[in-house]
A and B are shown apart, each in its own frame.
Chain A
Amino acid sequence: MSSDPILRLDGITKRFGAIVANEDVTIQLGRGEILALLGENGAGKTTLMNILFGHYLPDAGRVAVDGRELTLGKPRDAIAAGVGMVHQHFTLAPNLTVLENVMTGTERLWHPASATTAARAKLADLADRFGLAIDPDARVHDLSVGEQQRVEILKALYNQARILILDEPTAVLTRPEADRLFQTLRVMAKDGLSIIFISHKLYEVMTADRVVVLRAGRVTAERRTEATSREELAELMVGRRVTRPVRDATAPGPVLIKASGLCATAGRTALRDIDFTLHKGEILGIIGVSGNGQTLLAQILSGLARPHSGDLQLNGADITGLTAPELLRRGVARIPEDRNREGVVARFPLWQNTVLERLGDPRFASWGLVKRSAARAFCRDVISRFDVRGGGPETETATLSGGNIQKLIFGRNMIDGPAVLIAAQPTRGLDEGAISAVHKEILNARSDGCGVILISEDLDEVLALADRVQAIVKGRLSPAVGTDGLDAQQVGLMMAGEWSGHAHAH
């Protein structure tokens, strides 16, 4: 690594309305260095990288590559300077082949024929050099997400990227896939590439050379990874010491929910022979990388989709294929996977979102009329008992933070003391403070005797909260494994579909 930086961001400031996304951010990237950009959601990491790549125009500041200043707001200039970006949500055309995707945008439109032979050779050379093996003629929609990410990286390299930016690269990967990615990044760095990756996961940033911590749009700390620890970084990221609540030992009660042989299909996902049991006062973790059928499973358990065969019982009574209002009446509380899209109507005031799923309840509606004052009182109750901040019953829901919207959704479900809680990705996209609040709610529900099905992608979350865990892989559920004494490595293997060794560990 030579001493002059390949990339300098100097005094970058960007505001969206009253919100300061980045303030006076200065970062340098050395040649052949891997830099991790660590920060919570909303800390301004993605905004900063979008400024570097020319998607956003900053209010102040400069970006220089190799000492030459970039014209800001022009992605073409960034690409020409050798900046390549791998977005969190891939920007590939699924119906084209790998080669076609990689070549897109690199050729002039009026050329009579495209130079596929040369491109093929170049792609093969790149794939070989960095160990990114891929079939150039495979269609992108046939590839796994890990392979698609490989295509994204190859696309950047094909465009002569010397600086590679990866936005939350492991969000869609299993732990083994993520480890392989970081090995690849190390090979690339040895080859002279300079890399920035964005993350809010502590174990990942420790694989970098250096970590820059962003908080509320500002650089709050910079550490070399060999001179810091995960604990220190966690505190730097959040700004205070945050402790997630800990599960205390309880004996599970009688069986609450029993699923046997559930099969369902929706579009291209299929669930096959889903079996699990949930006990009273127990948290059952269902872990899996997104896209393995957990969305459909959550929908079935929440009364939004029907299995085409199999059997679901609550307290011995058949609840297969019941609708959401029928499940609610039987004491099934539900936290939706996508709280902003499904959990609340953004333009509704809080009180309407508090009772929207309870309009069949005579407390809140009779003769087809909404009992507005009762609904408002209920909403006030939820707000005060679940510490929802940012407004009253008449406040438009869109103005609340994600954490407070989640507290509202928890509150409207938990206030009546449900028998079962179906929590799908309950902390996705929340910051550390809100995560610990949600964890506390889930553990409270458990100690009140509620059975919780926790569907999550977050290994640490499941290990911390769940009594037993089952992995969901390609629509199949592994046998249940107790979490006592289980480590991340073992769960990682289960998430990759290797559970034969655990088959009788139940």
Chain B
Amino acid sequence: MRIERRETRPAWLVIGAPVSAVLVALMAAGLLVGLSGAPVFEAFGRMAVGAFGSKLAITETLTRAVPLILTGLAAAVAFRAQVWNIGAEGQLYAGALAVAALGAANPFGAPAYLLIPMLLVAGAVAGMILLIVPVALRLRFGVDEVVTTLLMNFIVLLFVSLAIEGFLRDPLAFGWPQSVPVPPEARLEKLVTQSRLHTGLIVAVGAALVVFAINRFTVFGLQSRAAGLQADAARFAGAPISLTLLKVACLSGGLAGLAGAVEVLGVKGHVSTALSPGFGYTGIVVAMLAALSPIGVIFAGLFVAAMFVGADGMSRAMGVPSFIADVTVSLALLTMLIALFLTQFRIRR
């Protein structure tokens, strides 16, 4: 048996590989569902119903997909340039905190059509700052950004705790540690009435399209990819590596900060430490599932969101623990890595 590099990558393979990876992961997860004593097909049926079976289910899945698409893009943008941003979770919280603090104060008394864009930008900027620091440290002193971005997550989360127990604490929250809610005019509009789905979905999909266009059409996109694939070649070609990586940090951190801002303005209205069930970390999985393609991130985000929302429904009906969603998503990541390998290499006997 031999492994050799493919000369070409046909379109059916590029599309087919992630699809079959997901199918294989679902099959493997089916085995686990079977082991836990539940009828497998019924369980998957319940899962599908839980994720897509009603208007409410669909809007819930889409609502859940919004932050995942944004953090997935944050990871995809960074990884493509070999900036290992593991800190999307912290950047998300930084964005959320900035929005909550500014929104609740609304210092300029701005109307909604000005206030919302302003707050979204503020959230993105907070995320940017949080990633620029580790990337600058790497460029200047060679500090490993995996370590710094990861540890920043904990610092930011503790700072959020400090804020919502202290200077941002909502006195009307019956003692719950959460921030003062943003005023109603700062909330994102609902896309579907009587659901949680908000215009943040448009922001997320729009961001994916913008990232796609940046990658494909701009000098920065070409140079950041060159810097990621082969830094020596990018340097020889005279690409400004440090500047490019700082721009990548702005884009990636900004997207993660935007995720936090959108989550506050669209769903919760305030910040608490329960704002994100690890959206920042799951974003890494989403990016990998999408093979770092920005359009792929939309679909990967939807898949992961559907798994989590669907598994909740299944667990209520069948008594299978909802952790099956985590297991399935993790399995999908593994099968996706194998599928990616197979798109680049073929195995011959």
- Using a CB–CB cutoff of 8 Å, the interface residues on chain A facing chain B are 16-18, 302-304, 323-325, 328, 334, 336, 338, 341-348, 352, 356-357, 359-360, 365, 368-370, 372, 399
Cβ distance B248 to chain A, nearest Cβ, rounded Å: 15
Chain B positions 205 through 243: 1 when the CB is less than 8 Å from some CB of chain A, otherwise 0: 000000000000111111101100110111111110000
Chain A residues lying within 8 Å of B5, measured Cβ to Cβ, are 17
Give the distance in Å from the alpha carbon of A334 to the alpha carbon of B348 in the complex: 41
**Which residue of chain A is the closest to B230 with respect to CB atoms?**
A345
Give the distance in Å from the alpha carbon of A215 to the alpha carbon of B56 in the complex: 70
Chain B residues lying within 8 Å of A336, measured Cβ to Cβ, are 236
Give the distance in Å from the alpha carbon of A370 to the alpha carbon of B217 in the complex: 6
Give the distance in Å from the alpha carbon of A328 to the alpha carbon of B225 in the complex: 22
Give the distance in Å from the alpha carbon of A304 to the alpha carbon of B225 in the complex: 20
Q: Are the C-beta atoms of A328 and B238 separated by less than 8 Å?
A: yes
Across chains A and B, which 7 residue pairs bring their CB atoms closest together, nearest first? A324-B238, A17-B4, A357-B237, A342-B236, A325-B238, A356-B237, A345-B230
**Which residue of chain A is the closest to B348 with respect to CB atoms?**
A17
Q: Are the C-beta atoms of A352 and B218 separated by less than 8 Å?
A: no
Give the distance in Å from the alpha carbon of A306 to the alpha carbon of B233 in the complex: 18
Give the distance in Å from the alpha carbon of A497 to the alpha carbon of B222 in the complex: 45
Q: Decide if the interface of chain B is mainly helix, strand, loop or mixed.
A: helix
Q: Are the C-beta atoms of A359 and B223 separated by less than 8 Å?
A: yes
Chain B residues lying within 8 Å of A347, measured Cβ to Cβ, are 229-230
Cβ distance B314 to chain A, nearest Cβ, rounded Å: 41
Contact A324:B218 (CB < 8 A) given known A17-B5, A341-B230, A359-B223: no
Which of B5, B219, B229, B232 has the most chain A CB atoms closer than 10 A to its own CB? B219
Cβ distance A358 to chain B, nearest Cβ, rounded Å: 8
Contact A344:B229 (CB < 8 A) given known A365-B219, A369-B217: no
Chain A residues lying within 8 Å of B7, measured Cβ to Cβ, are 399
**Which residue of chain A is the closest to B221 with respect to CB atoms?**
A370
Q: Are the C-beta atoms of A302 and B236 separated by less than 8 Å?
A: yes
Give the distance in Å from the alpha carbon of A338 to the alpha carbon of B219 in the complex: 24
Is B140's beta carbon under 8 Å from chain A? no
Chain B residues lying within 8 Å of A345, measured Cβ to Cβ, are 225-226, 229-230, 233-234
Q: Which of A324, A341, A399 contacts B237 (CB 8 A)?
A: A324
Q: Are the C-beta atoms of A370 and B222 separated by less than 8 Å?
A: yes
Q: Which of A343, A359, A360 contacts B222 (CB 8 A)?
A: A359
Chain A residues lying within 8 Å of B221, measured Cβ to Cβ, are 370
Cβ distance A452 to chain B, nearest Cβ, rounded Å: 19
Q: Which of A18, A356, A360, A369 contacts B226 (CB 8 A)?
A: A356
Cβ distance A20 to chain B, nearest Cβ, rounded Å: 13
Q: Are the C-beta atoms of B238 and A357 separated by less than 8 Å?
A: yes
Is B2's beta carbon under 8 Å from chain A? yes
Q: Are the C-beta atoms of B230 and A346 separated by less than 8 Å?
A: yes
Give the distance in Å from the alpha carbon of A385 to the alpha carbon of B217 in the complex: 27
Q: Are the C-beta atoms of B2 and A356 separated by less than 8 Å?
A: no
Contact A18:B220 (CB < 8 A) given known A325-B238, A356-B237: no
16 residue pairs A–B, Cβ–Cβ below 8 Å:
A17-B5, A341-B232, A342-B232, A342-B235, A342-B236, A345-B233, A347-B230, A356-B233, A356-B234, A356-B239, A360-B238, A368-B219, A369-B218, A370-B221, A370-B222, A399-B7
Give the distance in Å from the alpha carbon of A347 to the alpha carbon of B217 in the complex: 17
Q: Are the C-beta atoms of B239 and A17 separated by less than 8 Å?
A: no
Give the distance in Å from the alpha carbon of A310 to the alpha carbon of B230 in the complex: 31
Contact A16:B236 (CB < 8 A) given known A370-B222, A372-B217: no
Which of B220, B229, B233, B239 has the most chain A CB atoms closer than 10 A to its own CB? B233
Q: Are the C-beta atoms of B235 and A356 separated by less than 8 Å?
A: no
Q: Are the C-beta atoms of B238 and A323 separated by less than 8 Å?
A: yes
Which of B219, B220, B223, B238 has the most chain A CB atoms closer than 10 A to its own CB? B238
**Which residue of chain A is the closest to B5 with respect to CB atoms?**
A17
Cβ distance A26 to chain B, nearest Cβ, rounded Å: 24
Give the distance in Å from the alpha carbon of A324 to the alpha carbon of B7 in the complex: 32
Cβ distance A346 to chain B, nearest Cβ, rounded Å: 7
Give the distance in Å from the alpha carbon of A302 to the alpha carbon of B238 in the complex: 10
Give the distance in Å from the alpha carbon of A17 to the alpha carbon of B223 in the complex: 33
Chain B residues lying within 8 Å of A368, measured Cβ to Cβ, are 218-220
Cβ distance A396 to chain B, nearest Cβ, rounded Å: 8
Chain B residues lying within 8 Å of A328, measured Cβ to Cβ, are 238
Q: Are the C-beta atoms of B218 and A348 separated by less than 8 Å?
A: no
